[in-house]
Structure 1
Amino acid sequence: MSGTSKMLPTAFDYQPAKAKEKIHPAEKPVELLEDIIHCISKPYELLLDQFGGSGNFAIASLNTNRNVIVIEKDEETYDKMKENILNNSNDTVQEDKENTIEIEL
């Protein structure tokens, strides 16, 4: 595949977060998202998560040196997502009025 680091594997083996620890019902482990991001993009590219949920995609993007824009429509989920990103990142978070977070390395 042109423009990617490697092909996606056919299976991943990661344990999901415990139900009591989840921020969002569809939350994926950061480590899984990091592996996928390594396969589909290159460092310093800009990635978009239109359905921010827990914010783990943003955390994984930052951990793999990618810039990221995250959007979450639900206000309550957005607040939890923002807190999760801030607690797990040292990068500068820019926020606008439309529940969008943009993080640049």
Structure 2
Amino acid sequence: MLVCQFGALLHWVTLLSGLVECLFFAGIAFGWASLAVILKREGYFNDFCINATGANSSVYTDCSGQDEQLSLVFTIASTMSTLLALPNGFFFDHFGTMTTRILAM
């Protein structure tokens, strides 16, 4: 009876810890649009912003290079997430949830 209760408790702990992980770490992928605005405001990749001259001789700051770099970061992160799903599934099948999560950390 004690083993059955421990197993049920372990399932609930695994579920709750998975929810907490998603709450804290899934926002990077799903909240990227909001995060990119904050990263621009904080000055990430400001080196790629250049002063440009408009058609009426007005000077403005062109930050398209900064946008490209932030898009590149998102593209690489989402691609790696997809590519690592297969090895992650292999680790889940052969070593279990706890070992896979420890390796992921």
TM over 0.5: no
Greater RCO, 1 or 2 (C-alpha within 8 Å, sep 6+): 1
- TM-score normalised by the chain length of structure 2: 0.22
Larger radius of gyration: 2
- The structure carrying a bigger strand percent of its residues is 1
- The structure carrying a bigger helix percent of its residues is 2
